[in-house]
Amino acid sequence: MAYADDLEAVNARLMEVADLAGSAMFMATQSLLNADNDLAQGVIAQDERIDILAAEIEERCVELISIHHPTDRELRILIGSLRIAASLERMGDLASHVAKQARMRFPNPVVPQELRSTFEEMGALAQAIVTKTAEVIATKDLTLATDIAGHDEDVDRLHLELFRVVLSPTWQHGVESAIDITLLSRYYERYADHAVSVTRRLITIVTGDPYVGVSLT
């Protein structure tokens, strides 16, 4: 019973990190679209906190495996949790990459006017994905996994669309901007992949089925 409390505490920390990884990408998108350097700095600073929290969760999981002799189900939860912590940590990194791109070009905007709506959509999808991922962590309600996978496909679609735009003969913003857009788009795309990876780990935790890796593009 004390062990159940420990597992619950680990899960609460995972929710906290998921929230932070979510707010990081939200603020990163805002800093990108509004060329807001202070906000970008905030995201980059917050990433350290995410790294520390994620590392603490990982250590705690190993400690709990070490001091108890977990049942197979408990072990699945603990191994799954340390994996999830690693993915959330990486999502924080990717939000930080977006913010660094905004900071690098400040005070100039990174995203050309005609691509603003695409990046708004990317940001909104990232938000929907991470909010639902946090909810699955909290509730273990796997029905949201389908939504998350759908949002991930939408992100992939936007990612390909952005490639088409920067490679089109009508692209007028030069090589530097094309590279900025490509890298930014990849950061969102990888962020969404990691969220899908988290939900697959949660499926494994809940069902006991083996983990199915995310097909990484």
Site of interaction with its own copies (CB under 8 A): 51, 55, 58-59, 62, 65-66, 69-70, 72, 75-76, 79, 82-83, 86, 89, 93, 163, 166-167, 171, 174-176, 178-179, 182-183, 186, 210-211, 213, 216
Amino acid at 24: A
> Measured from the CB of residue 55, what is the shortest distance to its own copies in angstroms?
7
Neighbours of 85 (CB within 10 A): 26
Please measure the distance between the N-terminal and C-terminal CA atoms of the chain and give it in whole angstroms.
Answer: 43
> Measured from the CB of residue 43, what is the shortest distance to its own copies in angstroms?
15
- The nearer residue to its own copies, 105 or 124, going by C-beta atoms, is 105
> Measured from the CB of residue 124, what is the shortest distance to its own copies in angstroms?
25
- The nearer residue to its own copies, 106 or 171, going by C-beta atoms, is 171
Query: Closest Cα partner for 135 from 199, 88, 189?
Result: 199
> Measured from the CB of residue 183, what is the shortest distance to its own copies in angstroms?
7
> Measured from the CB of residue 118, what is the shortest distance to its own copies in angstroms?
17
**Residue 125 CB partners (closer than 8 Å, separation 6+):** 151, 154, 155, 158, 188, 192
- The nearer residue to its own copies, 16 or 51, going by C-beta atoms, is 51
- The nearer residue to its own copies, 151 or 201, going by C-beta atoms, is 201
- The nearer residue to its own copies, 126 or 165, going by C-beta atoms, is 165
> Measured from the CB of residue 182, what is the shortest distance to its own copies in angstroms?
5
- The nearer residue to its own copies, 50 or 128, going by C-beta atoms, is 50
Neighbours of 39 (CB within 10 A): 20
